Amino acid sequence: MSGHVTIRLASERVNHCVASSNELPRFYTPGEVISGMQDFMRGHGTYVEDDCIKSSVAGVMQKVNKLICVRPLKSRYVGEIGDVVVGRVLEVQQKRWKVETNSRLDSILQLSSVNLPGGELRRRSAEDEQMMRKHLQEGDLISAEVQSVFSDGSLSLHTRSLKYGKLSQGVLMKVFPSLIKRRKNHFHNLPCGIAIIIGNNGFIWMSPQQQNIVIEENKDEIENYELQPISKSDREIMARLKNCIAALVASKMMLDDSSIMFAYEESLRYDDVKELLDPEVMLDIAFLTQHRLNSIMEE
């Protein structure tokens, strides 16, 4: 079986850099002097040595008034209260689930922080504890919100709203958390017919848009809906979206619903979804997306 293989020399690799403005951001390496101590205050990603503020991580400097921070390009997710996250259940423990959320420590989802079947409001009993695996088991994907942050930095999650909970059929994609743009809403129904959850922790979930089903009355209908196979057209759209996000990530562009949708629209000029994995095509999509974002900002 023969296939088309492209092998590139290092000198011929595509530079994916797409500048959002005319000036490229200044990149600092660990130990590099940023400024004198008398002029500024030090923030995250910096330390003081010899009366100078130096970078402790490799990243881009951010300045707010007199506060200097260095934002690392690659880092683990550092959660904040109210963040929307997508995670995978690792372990079922006593009255809680342990969840992987791309942070330094595993997150915790308490039994008291989830909706009971039918939305019933009451104290959790020993019977509820025994039924925990029927609700969520190892390997399940969930969407949740950060309820609180423990002293050691681990996160406490909750899924009390109907928009959170177990994720059934779709595609999970992992990107750098630093590329996720913080917004009020991280749940989006895109015009192409796909629902997307852009988790603050760098996990992005894509699935076909669900019909509105009444939870209390039609439990069997929900289970049947979750088990239905996804159509070929929806799978192609999700594959195209995934490749578009990969193109934006390769160029270190911030991700939100606007940038993803612009990239998807620009990718439609390429008929074959596999073409979007070509480095030149990825750069072309990222460049055209950045051009559209710049034109909106100028307006």
pLDDT of 61 reads 85
Three-state SS sequence of 157-177? EEECCCCCEEECCCEEEECCH
- Are residues 150 and 197 in contact, defined by beta-carbon separation less than 8 angstroms? no
Distance, CA of 117 to CA of 95 (rounded, Å): 16
pLDDT of 38 reads 74
State phi, psi for 193 to the nearest 5 degrees: 95, 10
pLDDT of 39 reads 76
The alpha carbon of residue 279 and the mean position of all alpha carbons in its chain are separated, in whole angstroms, by 22
pLDDT of 217 reads 44
Number of neighbouring beta carbons within 10 Å of residue 140:
18
Class of domain 26-72: mainly beta
Q: Of 234, 244, 139, 227, give the one whose Cα is nearest residue 194.
A: 234
Which mean pLDDT values do the consecutive 10-residue runs of the chain (299 residues) have?
Answer: 61 58 72 82 87 88 86 84 93 91 91 75 74 86 93 90 87 90 90 92 91 49 65 91 93 89 92 89 91 82
- For the chain, the domains span 26-72, 74-167, 171-299
**Residues contacting 222, CB < 8 A, separation 6+:** 213, 215
Distance, CA of 268 to CA of 203 (rounded, Å): 24
pLDDT of 153 reads 87
- Same fold flag, 26-72 and 74-167: yes
Distance, CA of 192 to CA of 184 (rounded, Å): 22
Amino acid of residue 251: S
- Measured distance between the N- and C-terminal CA atoms of the chain, rounded to whole angstroms: 53
Specify the CATH architecture of the domain 74-167. Beta Barrel (2.40)
pLDDT of 226 reads 64
pLDDT of 63 reads 84
